[in-house]
């Protein structure tokens, strides 16, 4: 009976997703419409698209279990960091600048932005290659955790779950393009908001409520310190800070996240989108990590893997109806992020690599065909990688997934942010940051794969313990060092052409000039103070 309920709910959900794709098929006739929704997407849709692309099933199943196990309820700080740094400040700092600058440059992708901003087609090609290499394993990671959850509900093979989800995502993206994606993201976001609140409440209720659950968790000790997992910052403050930096600041340099600002309808929509996106992140990410903090009450150890912790919590505490809700929540989180990633990847390959490499202009029809072909290819390849990883337990794939986020954000974040605000950012600094981000991430992967054969003098060193000992540490430090690389290299390399910069920064210069003119006019205009102006009663007395 329960299996029938699960299947019925999933079929209804998949039908709605496909119907939305069909309803938005008209908006996907042009390249701009398919990739950016014609730059006419409202703030609510954009905010939900940003949030659902940000938080996938990896967070709910994998990261919530892993970081909740490691940090206890202090893992909630990760969700708070995602909301404030990854959403609120990201919208405030990047939102308007990104929209205006990309319109000035007529760019639809991040590689195209870099190429036109620095007048270097090779820079665009390099950015495209980095995205192509590192987004595929990142996309494959979205399927992590689905296997154990679906096995719990249906007892069906992992590969069947992956193929079903990949097929449904491919159908609605191929038919409806970006608008189908954002509308589905909106529905998926509502499910995620509602679902996480209900699930957290149900799990805590199964342990006698919040107070009782906290009391039980406080009895668990770490290295002889009782109450470590209920303390304010948990047992590992350094690790917690690194996770917050990577998962929050990292979104500023991810192409699938930044691209959401390209499509928003107007500058006035930025403020609304910022508020909605922040609340969404606070509820979903904060709720996920808060839930994961109680994982030790349901699992004695993590020997079976961190991905099994949250499913174990759910199996022991939720009735069948709520398990069905969890299935929809996890599938929603995975499909929303998957659709965003494949849209970003396919548009980058078509518009930046193939179109940029050809001397002859690609026809509109050819571009549309290629984009759709690569959407299908990216979904298929990521599904195959996920199936192969599970079947053969290829650890290097999982480790490469871990460095993907750090490589992308480490390469793009600093040059992208500086180029939006600082005219003196040079293309050489951009090249150096690209190289540093990629090479550091690859070095970290190699060190991780060969950790068993490394000399003890290195594995016990400060550098290994606090930098190369974890892909999270490497990613966070790579991003932070990028903020030093770009200004330092820019100071000693050839500056961009002034005429080109004046053109693309003109909207911001015009606004500054208008404000300065208004202030200057107000200050120079003769005024009569209230103290100097005679009152009506005084006028009447004088008369």
pLDDT of res. 538:
43
Whether residues 19 and 87 fall in one domain: yes
Whether residues 76 and 202 fall in one domain: yes
Measured CA to CA in angstroms, residue 160 lies from 88, 166, 404, 447 at distances of 38, 10, 26, 34
In a domain, 507, yes or no: no
Which ranges constitute the DSSP H helices of 106-157? Answer: 110-117, 121-140, 146-154
Whether residues 49 and 93 fall in one domain: yes
Whether residues 147 and 186 fall in one domain: yes
CATH number of domain containing 68: 1.20.1730.10
Phi and psi, residue 55, nearest 5°: -110, 110
In a domain, 460, yes or no: yes
pLDDT of res. 539:
46
Whether residues 307 and 428 fall in one domain: no
In a domain, 525, yes or no: no
Whether residues 419 and 381 fall in one domain: no
pLDDT of res. 160:
79
pLDDT of res. 281:
94
pLDDT of res. 511:
55
Q: 71, 253 in Cβ contact below 8 A?
A: no
Give me 464's structure tokens.
């290994």
pLDDT of res. 151:
62
Measured CA to CA in angstroms, residue 3 lies from 191, 211, 321 at distances of 20, 34, 11
CA dihedral 249, 252, 257, 260 (to 10 degrees): 130
Residues 6+ apart with CB under 8 A from 163: 383
Question: How far is 365 from 351, CA to CA, in rounded Å?
Answer: 13
CB atoms within 10 A of CB 277: 28
Measured CA to CA in angstroms, residue 255 lies from 32, 138, 357, 363 at distances of 17, 12, 21, 25
CB atoms within 10 A of CB 492: 9
Range of the structural domain that residue 490 is part of? 399-495
Whether residues 383 and 484 fall in one domain: no
Whether residues 78 and 220 fall in one domain: yes
In a domain, 519, yes or no: no
Q: 204, 417 in Cβ contact below 8 A?
A: no
pLDDT of res. 528:
47
CA 206 to chain centre: 32
Whether residues 466 and 405 fall in one domain: yes
In a domain, 444, yes or no: yes
pLDDT of res. 118:
92
Whether residues 464 and 406 fall in one domain: yes
Greatest distance between any 2 Cα atoms in the chain = 102
Overall size of the chain counted in residues? 543
Whether residues 346 and 408 fall in one domain: no
Question: How far is 371 from 376, CA to CA, in rounded Å?
Answer: 9
Q: 279, 265 in Cβ contact below 8 A?
A: no
Give me 9's structure tokens.
């709910």
pLDDT of res. 525:
62
In a domain, 206, yes or no: yes
Give me 26's structure tokens.
């008209």
Instruction: Report residues of the chain scoring pLDDT below 50.
Output: 513, 515-516, 528-543
Whether residues 325 and 446 fall in one domain: no
* DSSP 3-state percent helix, strand, coil across the chain (nearest 5): 80, 0, 15
Phi and psi, residue 493, nearest 5°: -125, 170
Question: How far is 541 from 149, CA to CA, in rounded Å?
Answer: 88
pLDDT of res. 220:
86
pLDDT tens-digit readout, 202-261 = 999 988 899 999 999 998 877 667 788 998 888 999 999 999 999 999 899 988 888 888
In a domain, 300, yes or no: yes
In a domain, 515, yes or no: no
Number of domains in the chain: 2
């Amino acid at each position: 009976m329960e299996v029938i309920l699960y299947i019925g709910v999933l079929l209804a959900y998949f039908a709605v997703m496909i119907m939305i794709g069909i309803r938005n098929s008209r908006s996907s006739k042009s390249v701009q419409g398919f990739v950016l929704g014609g730059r006419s997407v409202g703030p609510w849709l954009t905010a939900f698209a940003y949030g659902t692309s940000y938080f996938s099933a990896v967070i709910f199943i994998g990261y919530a279990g892993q970081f909740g196990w490691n940090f206890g309820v202090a893992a909630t700080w990760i969700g708070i960091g995602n909301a404030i740094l990854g959403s609120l400040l990201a919208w405030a700092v990047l939102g308007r600048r990104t929209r205006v600058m990309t319109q000035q440059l007529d760019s639809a992708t991040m590689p195209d932005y870099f190429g036109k901003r620095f007048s270097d087609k090779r820079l665009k090609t390099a950015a495209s290659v980095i995205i192509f290499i590192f987004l595929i394993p990142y996309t494959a990671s979205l399927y992590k955790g689905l296997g154990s959850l679906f096995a719990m509900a249906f007892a069906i093979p992992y590969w069947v779950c992956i193929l079903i989800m990949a097929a449904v995502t491919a159908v609605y993206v191929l038919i409806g393009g970006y608008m189908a994606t954002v509308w589905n993201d909106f529905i998926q976001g509502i499910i995620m908001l509602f679902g996480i609140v209900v699930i957290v409440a149900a799990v805590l209720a199964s342990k006698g409520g919040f107070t009782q659950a906290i009391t039980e968790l406080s009895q668990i000790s770490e290295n002889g310190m009782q109450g470590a997992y209920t303390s304010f910052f948990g047992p590992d403050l350094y690790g917690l800070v690194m996770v917050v930096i990577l998962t929050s600041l990292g979104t500023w340099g991810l192409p699938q996240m930044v691209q959401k600002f390209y499509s928003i309808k107007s500058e006035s929509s930025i403020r609304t989108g910022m508020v909605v996106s922040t609340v969404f992140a606070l509820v979903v990410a904060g709720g996920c990590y808060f839930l994961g903090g109680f994982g030790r009450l349901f699992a004695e150890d993590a020997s079976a893997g961190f991905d099994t912790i949250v499913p174990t919590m759910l199996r022991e505490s939720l009735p069948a109806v709520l398990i069905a809700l969890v299935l929809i929540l996890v599938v929603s989180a995975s499909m929303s992020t998957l659709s965003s990633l494949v849209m970003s990847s396919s548009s980058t390959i078509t518009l930046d690599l193939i179109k940029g490499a050809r001397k002859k202009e690609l026809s509109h029809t050819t571009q549309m065909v290629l984009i759709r072909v690569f959407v299908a290819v990216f979904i298929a390849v990521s599904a195959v990688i996920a199936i192969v990883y599970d079947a053969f337990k290829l650890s290097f794939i999982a480790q490469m997934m871990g460095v993907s986020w750090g490589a992308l954000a480490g390469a793009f974040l600093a040059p992208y942010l500086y180029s939006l605000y600082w005219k003196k950012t040079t293309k050489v600094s951009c090249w150096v940051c690209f190289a540093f981000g990629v090479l550091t991430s690859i070095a970290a992967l190699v060190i991780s794969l060969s950790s068993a054969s490394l000399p003890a003098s290195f594995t016990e060193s400060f550098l290994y313990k606090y930098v190369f000992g974890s892909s999270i540490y490497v990613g966070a430090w790579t991003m932070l060092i990028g903020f030093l690389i770009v200004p330092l290299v820019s100071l000693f390399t050839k500056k961009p052409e002034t005429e080109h910069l004046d053109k693309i920064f003109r909207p911001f210069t015009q606004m500054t000039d208008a404000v300065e003119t208004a202030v200057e006019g107000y200050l120079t205009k003769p005024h009569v103070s209230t103290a100097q102006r005679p009152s009506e009663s005084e006028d009447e007395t004088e008369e």
